[in-house]
Amino acid sequence: MPLVFTLAFRNLFHDRLRFIATVIGIVFSMVLVTVQMGLYLGFGRMVTTMIDHASADLWVMPRGTKCFEDPSLLNARERYRALSINGVAEAIPVVIGFADWRMPSGTTTPVFVIGSDLRSGGLQPWNLVEGRIESLSTPKAVAVDRSYFDRLGISGMGATAEIRQQPVRVAAVTDGIRSFTTTPFVFMDVNRAREHTGVPSGKATYLLIRLSPDADLDHVRSQLMLNIARVEVLTPAEFRERSRAFWLFSTGAGAALFAGALLGVIVGTVIVAQTLYSSTKEHLNEFATLRAIGSSRQYIYKVIVWQALLSAIIGFSIAALIGDAIVHLTAATALPILITPGLNISLFLLTVVMCIGSAIAAIVQVTRIDPVIVFTR
Amino acid sequence: MTEPLLEAVNVSKDLGSGAAKVAALKGVSLALKGGELTLLMGPSGSGKTTLLSILGCMLTPTEGAVRVCGHSTAGAGPEDLALLRRQHVGFVFQSFHLFPTLSATDNVRLALDVRGEPSTAAKAKSREALAKVGLAHKTKAFPRELSGGEQQRVAIARAIVGNPSIILADEPTAALDGENGRAIMKILAEIAKERGHAVLIVTHDPRLLPFADRVVHIEDGRIVGEERGGVKLQ
């Protein structure tokens, strides 16, 4: 084992209480950053979950639509105009909107209705655990997620309720389709969605465009824009980005999450810097001795940087374990924390940068060290 | 006549500035040759440690010149001086300055590690150096497990392990009892004789005189006398 590493390791573990305080500081800081960034990623995925699960090559939407939940409407008759364009295989209307769900007990709760042409499979419920998609074509049939049973005042398949004074019956049950707004999603046929949300029969929120196998996406998109007035045509990736940008940045949610993460980094940096500084100060005699016996400054920097790296590795490992536990604990909530391998790597690098950055004060102190002090102490 | 390994010519050193400026050394010249153990003696505040710091390339003189194994320190920066120390000078300190978290072997190995010597060879050399000072059986001991005399022997092993031409020792026996002090001086005298090193010891302990080839007296920043073999030269 390199002696410089041994020295760093022993310096670090020599004062166990201080080392524990350092690790707690790093863990606290990195758990805070992990949770904030995990929420950011989780939120980013939740706000695009419908776009992710829709089967479309292009989305046609009213101009200025900000996100999937935007209730602006377009003329559903534009569907035929879209179908007349070469390369368009299907144009599937989708209707969304808020409505009140009245339970058998008479209590009401808001729901988010999603209606699509179920035969075309534009935007169907996924992760079905009971019932079949086809059964949603029958009168009154809707699909809900089982995590919302209590909220909707129902016990499962076959349960009945009312939306906009019209009866509905649970004909399919999904698992894990949750909304970040905590408002339950209710899937149904597009025509009944219009009735339940009050959207006029000639209107729709989106047209989902599916292309013919040999169609050129850019050409079809420009043709759609030319032929249909006052609409925008976005690819799923573009619509995803727009939805994310709206929810994360226009609402301030993303800024709040980043601010929390930044706070974590600042707290961590200050704690590690303080610890490394006091550790260096305590070992000043030893560093002066090293200088006296002829070590270069770089050699001493290596000792300090190794101390910082060891702190980073130990602190991050514990923070990652806690982060993993938080991921499991929040998996079934409305806003699960999402930690991807990429995020883990980024957080590790951030921890390393934070700890090495924290070593700067200690390094500056050592740079000023005068080896002559070995004769006076 | 052999060339001196370490030479100070007309060295002056001012410490502090303005009204607090003190002339710690005033035109000191001193040459150390290989194979000789020299004692530098003088009262407190006479400039012993300042001269030792300048000879050991830790301080630069205000005036005058220092040559270490033929290399002038004139215009040398902190890293150049560190390189000279690393290559040519071994230090022994009054309070040992061992690393409490490292074993005796690792304490000695540090002097080689800072030179970039490979780990395996450095370990072997460190054990040899510890054997040379009579600590072959304490290689794994930590400083807290060693007596004062043993700790100073580890410090001497650290000073000689890199085979430097010059050994500078600052009051190496001050923290030891008489018996340990004599043992340490015997080792340092042997190092001078057997290895041909130039050994300079700063002390005000007259009990060390029998071990010296040469004694240099310093007072008020000036060399005021010198003895060789008990004969006053000046």
Chain A from 11 to 50: CB within 8 A of any B CB: 11, 14
| pLDDT-derived band at B24, boundaries 50, 70, 90 | very high
Q: Give the residue from B132, B133, B108 showing the smallest Cα distance to B121.
A: B108
Residue A10 and residue B93: Cβ atoms within 8 Å?
no
Looking at residue A377, what is its pLDDT? 66
| B112: pLDDT strictly greater than 90 | yes
Q: Which residues of chain A neighbour B53 with C-beta distances below 8 Å?
A: 372, 375
DSSP character at residue B207: G
Can you tell me the distance from the alpha carbon of A360 to that of A355, in angstroms, rounded to the nearest whole number? 9
Chain B from 62 to 81: CB within 8 A of any A CB: 78-79
User: Are A137 and A118 spatial neighbours (Cβ–Cβ below 8 Å)?
Assistant: yes
Domain spans, chain B: 33-47+76-232
Residue A377 and residue B95: Cβ atoms within 8 Å?
yes
Looking at residue A99, what is its pLDDT? 93
Q: Which residues make beta-bridge pairs with A232?
A: A61
pTM: 0.77
| B103: pLDDT strictly greater than 90 | yes
Cross-chain CB nearest to A11 (options B82, B101, B114): B101
Q: Which whole number is the average pLDDT over B20-30?
A: 92
For residue A309, the SS3 value is helix
| pLDDT-derived band at A223, boundaries 50, 70, 90 | very high
Q: Which residues of chain A neighbour B117 with C-beta distances below 8 Å?
A: none
Can you tell me the distance from the alpha carbon of A79 to that of A60, in angstroms, rounded to the nearest whole number? 10
Q: Which residues of chain B neighbour A376 with C-beta distances below 8 Å?
A: 49
Asked if A367 is an interface residue toward chain B (Cβ–Cβ < 8 A), one would say no
Looking at residue A242, what is its pLDDT? 94
For residue B120, the SS3 value is helix
Residues 6+ apart with CB under 8 A from A138: A171
Which position has the higher pLDDT, B30 or B207? Answer: B30
Q: How far is A26 from chain B (nearest CA, A)?
A: 24
Can you tell me the distance from the alpha carbon of A30 to that of A261, in angstroms, rounded to the nearest whole number? 9
Superfamily of domain B33-47+76-232: P-loop containing nucleotide triphosphate hydrolases (3.40.50.300)
Can you tell me the distance from the alpha carbon of A334 to that of A337, in angstroms, rounded to the nearest whole number? 10
Looking at residue A363, what is its pLDDT? 86
Looking at residue A276, what is its pLDDT? 79
Q: Let me know how long chain A is.
A: 377
Q: How many CA atoms lie within 13 A of B182 on its CB side?
A: 4
Residue B91 and residue A291: Cβ atoms within 8 Å?
no
Average pLDDT, chain A: 89
Average pLDDT, chain B: 91
- Phi and psi at residue B139, to the nearest 5°: -65, -30
Q: Which whole number is the average pLDDT over B1-27?
A: 89
ipTM: 0.91
Can you tell me the distance from the alpha carbon of B164 to that of A330, in angstroms, rounded to the nearest whole number? 64
In the numeric block, which tokens belong to residue B58?
Answer: 């830790």
Asked if B175 is an interface residue toward chain A (Cβ–Cβ < 8 A), one would say no
Asked if B51 is an interface residue toward chain A (Cβ–Cβ < 8 A), one would say no
DSSP character at residue B4: P
The separation between the first and the last C-alpha atoms of chain A, rounded to the nearest angstrom, is 30
Q: Which whole number is the average pLDDT over A222-234?
A: 92
Residues 6+ apart with CB under 8 A from B80: B73
Which position has the higher pLDDT, A212 or A336? Answer: A212
Q: How far is B85 from chain A (nearest CA, A)?
A: 5
| pLDDT-derived band at A59, boundaries 50, 70, 90 | very high
Q: Which whole number is the average pLDDT over B118-127?
A: 93
Residue A289 and residue B113: Cβ atoms within 8 Å?
no
| A318: pLDDT strictly greater than 90 | yes
What one-character-per-residue DSSP string does A91-120 give?
Answer: EEEEEEEEEEEEPTTS-EEEEEEEEE-TTT
Q: How many CA atoms lie within 13 A of B27 on its CB side?
A: 1
Looking at residue B234, what is its pLDDT? 55
Cross-chain CB nearest to B102 (options A10, A295, A375): A10
